[in-house]
Amino acid sequence: MVKKKLVVLTGAGISAESGVATFRGSGGLWEGYDIMEVASPEGWRKDFRLVLEFYNARRKNIASVEPNNAHTSLVELEEDYDVFVITQNIDNLHEQAGSSNVLHLHGEITKACSSKNKNAVTEIGFKDIKEGDVCPEGFQMRPYIVWFGEDVPLIPTAAELVSQADILLIIGTSLEVYPAAGLINFSKPNVPIYVIDPSPLNGKLNVPNEVMHLRQNAQEGMEKLKGLLS
């Protein structure tokens, strides 16, 4: 029997419950920083040392946490569904939990790339990127992250996955960051959409699909969802 394809869009809310500091909000990683100074090509050119420092701190935070029950629940769903995770998160918690298919829209904190060529990628784990760490061509290495003003190269792949979904699940994302938020528009009209997030939708999902909103955090919502899907 062919499994139904369950496509999952995840955002900061699922990782926050593991203790990963979010970028936005009070106490978020951007507090005290000008966003464009640490998350844009212009910021990199202005002061790449500040950018390295910022993401090295981010990497240390992620190294200290573990997947939570929401992450592991997605892995459990692979028994009955063909699960594909599309995440806006740069941590590797989905992989640590054991998810088989993970697509990172905004890059991966455990990788570095050449500041000259983003396709020259190196796995670094949770090590710092230091000034003087260079690619074989001699260019300074930078975080393998999609910054403001840069293309999101995996959007077409993600859109294709969403268009193939039999069920679409959205967890812990504000649905305000584009182009990621626009992926829901690629779902087929007959595909049910489940949203797990404590915040109100306030018209963010302007789609013809049947939408079930579970106003709970990621872990509680996933427990309820497993019952609904069983």
Write the CATH number for 59.
3.30.1600.10
Both 196 and 123 in one domain: the answer is no
- Specify whether 6 is located in the same domain as 86: yes
> What does the radius of gyration of the chain's CA atoms come to, in whole angstroms?
18
Residue range 214-229, pLDDT digits in tens: 999 999 999 999 999 9
d(CA 192, CA 209): 6
**What distance in Å separates the CA atoms of residue 113 and residue 22, rounded to the nearest whole number?**
23
Looking at the fold, whether 25 and 98 belong to one and the same domain comes out as: no
**Is residue 135 located within the same domain as residue 224?**
no
Q: What is the pLDDT of residue 203?
A: 72
Question: Do 101 and 115 share a domain, yes or no?
Answer: no
Same domain, 225 and 186: yes
What average pLDDT does this structure show over 152-170? 98
Same domain, 119 and 175: no
**Cβ within 8 Å of residue 103, ≥6 positions away:** 84, 85, 86, 87, 154, 157, 158, 161
Chain segment 100-128, per-residue pLDDT in tens: 999 999 999 999 999 999 999 999 999 99
CA distance 171 to 88: 11
Mean pLDDT of 168-173: 96
State yes or no: pLDDT of 143 exceeds 90.
yes
Q: Is 106 among the residues known to form the active site? A: yes
Q: What is the pLDDT of residue 224?
A: 96
Q: How does DSSP assign 126-190, residue by residue?
A: TPPP-TT-B-TTSPBEEEEEPPTTS--TTHHHHHHHHHT-SEEEEES--S-STTGGGGGGGS-TT
Whether residue 25 is found in the same domain as residue 137: yes
Last residue of a domain, one of 95, 122, 145: 145
pTM: 0.93
Residues 135 and 217 in one domain: no
By residue range, what is the domain housing residue 140?
A: 21-64+111-145
Whole-angstrom CA distances from 165 to 60, 61, 177, 224 are 35, 33, 21, 21
Q: Is residue 26 very low, low, confident or very high in pLDDT (cuts 50, 70, 90)?
A: very low
> Residues 197, 215: one domain?
yes
**Dihedral sign for Cα atoms in the order 9, 25, 199, 72:** positive
Question: What's the rounded Cα separation, in Å, for the pair 29 and 16?
Answer: 12
98 & 157 share domain: yes
Number of structural domains in the chain = 2
Instruction: Select which of 71, 94, 106, 213 is catalytic.
Output: 106
Contact 85, 101 (CB under 8 A): yes
Q: Residue 49: name the closest of 128, 102, 167, 107 by CA.
A: 128
31 and 12, same structural domain?
Answer: no
Q: What is the dihedral of CA 104, 107, 110, 112, to 10 degrees?
A: 150
pLDDT score recorded for residue 137: 95
What does the buried/exposed string (b/e) look like for 96-131 if buried means 16 or more CB atoms within 10 Å of the residue's CB? ebebeebebbbbbbbbbbbbeebebbeebeeeebee
| Lookup: tokens for 115 | 């500041």
CATH number reported for the structural domain that contains residue 183 in this entry: 3.40.50.1220
